Amino acid sequence: MHLLRVLLLLSLCVTSHAIAEGTLSGKPYNKTINLDTTLPSDIHAELPELGDVSQTVMSPRDEERIAQQILREVAVSDEVLHDAEVVDYLTRLGNRLAKVSDDKQQDFHFFVVKQPSINAFAMPGGVIGVHTGLFLASNTESELAGVVGHEIGHVTQRHLARMLAKQKTDTFKNIAGLAFAVLAARGNPELANAALTVSTAAGVQRQLDYTRAHEREADRVGLTVLEKAGFDPRGMPGFFNVLQRGSRFVEGSAPSFLRTHPLTSERISDVENRVANLPYKQVASSEAYYFVKAKLRAANGLTQKTADQFRSNIQSGRYVDENAEHYGLAVSLLRKNDVQGAAKETQWLDKHGVNNAFVENLKARIEVARNQPQAAAKLYQAALKKYPTNRALIYGYAEHFVALNQGKAAVDFIKRKKALFPNDAYLYELLAKGYFIQKKDLLRFQALGEAYYRQYNIEKAVEQMRFATKAKDGSFYEKSIVEARLKELRRLQKNQKPA
C-alpha cells in the first residue's frame, strides 16, 4: 500500500480522469499478461552511459530499474488492457517508429490503459502508455502514430532526467513509486485525494510537467520518426487541430493530453511550418488500425446500444471501413451473447473476402461460445497455418486445450510456440495449467516461477522455484535444472537494488 501511496502522485501529471468502466470480452482470450518485453536488466550487461548532464541525477540504469517496476505493475493490473490483438498492434506501431529514432540502444515498452480520455504518456526507461480514448479519437493511423512518435521523442531526448538534473535534486529516487498512479486512481479514489495533501506533491508535479521547449523538441523528433517510418507527417498537426477543436467551446474541457502536453497556437504553427516543407505523402491507414478501433468501440458502453450504433452506421453508410464496421458489430454481438448474430457478421466478412487474423480469431471464439470444441479446434488449426506467429490465436488455441483438460496437448503446443515469445509470462501461466492437469507439480511450479520472472517479480519467482525443488515428482535432470535456476534467481534477488 505504501507503494501505491507514492504511485498516486504521478496521476497529478499524467491524467486527471478516473479510469472508465468497461472492458473487452470477459472471455479468456483477452488475458494477455506480457507485452513481450525484455527481461530484467540484471541478466544483461549494463547499458552504456550517454554522458549528458542528466547523468548526474538519473542514469540509463536508473531509468531501466524504474521501467522494470512500472512493467511489474502493468503485467498484473486490471486497469491495463490485456488484449493480445490491441497490445500487439500498438507494439508493432511503436517499434516501427522507434526503429528509425536516433537512439538505437533504447528499449521501448508499450501498453494500453483502459481509459476513454485522450491521453498518452512516457515514463523513464522507454515505457509508453496510450489510453483507449486516444485510439478512438484519432481519424487516421498517421494521427495515432504522430502522438506515439511524440512520446518517443520525450524518451529519446530524456526530458524527465533533464528536468530533474536542472532541479539539482535527488527527487528521482521517488519516481519509481510515482510510476503507475494512473492505474491506482480508479481503484482507490480516496487514496488519490489523499495524495493531493502530500507536502511534496506540488513540487513533484512542477518537476514532471513538460515545458514548452520540451514539447517542441518532442514534436520535432516525432515528425522525423513519423516521416522516416513511412507515415504521413501531416497526421501530427492534424490531430492537434482535432484536439483543439474538440475543447474550444467548453471551459475546462481540454483533453488530458492537452493538460499534460501544453498545446499552443505557436506550437501548432511550428509543426505546420515544418510539415509544409516536406513532400506531400498520402498514406492509407492499415486494416489492423481500423479493426483495432472497431474492437475498442465494441467494448465501450452498454452492449445493446453499442450494437445498435454499429448497425446504424452500416445502414446509413457512416463509416470509413465497412469491413471493420461489420467486425465491430460481430464483437459487440458476441459480447452480449448473441452468438448467432455474431456468426452472421463473420459470414458477411467471409463472403466479402475479408481475410485477416482478427476475423479468424473471432470465428474460433464464436465456436467456443457455442460450445463446439471440435469446430473451434479446426478453426484455430487452419488460422495458425496462415498466421503462425499471431499471439491471440496462440493464446486461444492453448486456452482451448486447457478448457478441455487436455493437459498434454496444451503443453506440447505451448512448447512449440513459446520460442516465438520467450519473454511472454502468460504462455508460461498456460504451461503451468497444462502441467497441473497432468499432475506434474515440479514442472507446474517451475513454469509459474518463470511466469513471475517475466512479470519482473523476482520474489514470487524465487518462491515458486523453491516449491519446485520440494516437489515429490520430477526426474533427476528436471530437479537439477530447477535447483540451478533457483540459485540464479536468488542471486538476482540479492543483487537487485531498489530504484
Write the DSSP assignment of 410-442 as a string of letters: HHHHHHHHGGGSTT-HHHHHHHHHHHHHTT-HH
Cα gap 479→496, rounded to integer Å: 25
Which residue, among 256, 142, 268, has the nearest Cα to 215 in the 3D structure? 268
Cα gap 416→128, rounded to integer Å: 31
Mean pLDDT on 474-495 = 95
3-state SS, residue 35:
coil
Q: Could you tell me which residue, 66 or 440, shows the higher pLDDT?
A: 440
Q: What is the pTM of this model?
A: 0.82
Name the region of 158 (left: φ>0; alpha: ψ -120 to 50; beta: rest).
left
Q: Is the pLDDT of residue 37 over 60?
A: no
Give tens-digit pLDDT for 392-415.
999 999 999 999 999 999 999 999
CATH homologous superfamily of 287-495 = Tetratricopeptide repeat domain (1.25.40.10)
109 has which bridge partners? Answer: 127
Q: What pLDDT does residue 175 have?
A: 52
Give tens-digit pLDDT for 208-221.
455 777 788 888 89
Cα gap 78→114, rounded to integer Å: 9
Q: How far from each other are the two terminal CA atoms of the chain, in whole angstroms? A: 17
Cα gap 300→305, rounded to integer Å: 9
3-state SS, residue 57:
coil
Q: What pLDDT does residue 164 have?
A: 59
Q: Is the pLDDT of residue 69 over 50?
A: yes
CA 75 to chain centroid:
9
Mean pLDDT on 168-191 = 46
Cα gap 361→393, rounded to integer Å: 6
Cα gap 149→482, rounded to integer Å: 42
3-state SS, residue 111:
strand
3-state SS, residue 472:
coil
Which residue, among 74, 6, 81, has the nearest Cα to 37 in the 3D structure? 74
Q: Which residues contact 16 (CB under 8 A, 6 or more apart)?
A: 256, 259
Which residue, among 331, 346, 326, 343, has the nearest Cα to 296 in the 3D structure? 331
Mean pLDDT on 223-251 = 78
3-state SS, residue 399:
helix
User: By the 8 A CB rule, do 85 and 358 touch?
Assistant: yes
Distances (CA, A) of 65 to 10, 125, 230, 262, 409: 17, 8, 33, 29, 38
Q: What share of the chain is helix, strand, coil (3-state, %, to 5)?
A: 65, 5, 30
CA 463 to chain centroid:
27
User: By the 8 A CB rule, do 205 and 12 touch?
Assistant: yes
Q: What pLDDT does residue 257 have?
A: 52
- Give residue limits of the domains in the chain: 2-276, 287-495
- Degrees to nearest 5, angle at CA 430 with 428 and 433: 115
List the grid coordinates of 148: 506515439
3-state SS, residue 4:
helix
Mean pLDDT on 83-93 = 97
Q: Could you tell me which residue, 439 or 72, shows the higher pLDDT?
A: 439
Q: Which residues contact 275 (CB under 8 A, 6 or more apart)?
A: 223, 233, 234, 236, 237
Lowest model confidence (mean pLDDT) among 238-242, 258-262, 379-383, 392-396 = 258-262
Lowest model confidence (mean pLDDT) among 33-37, 162-166, 372-376, 417-421 = 33-37
Cα gap 274→220, rounded to integer Å: 8
Q: Could you tell me which residue, 282 or 348, shows the higher pLDDT?
A: 348
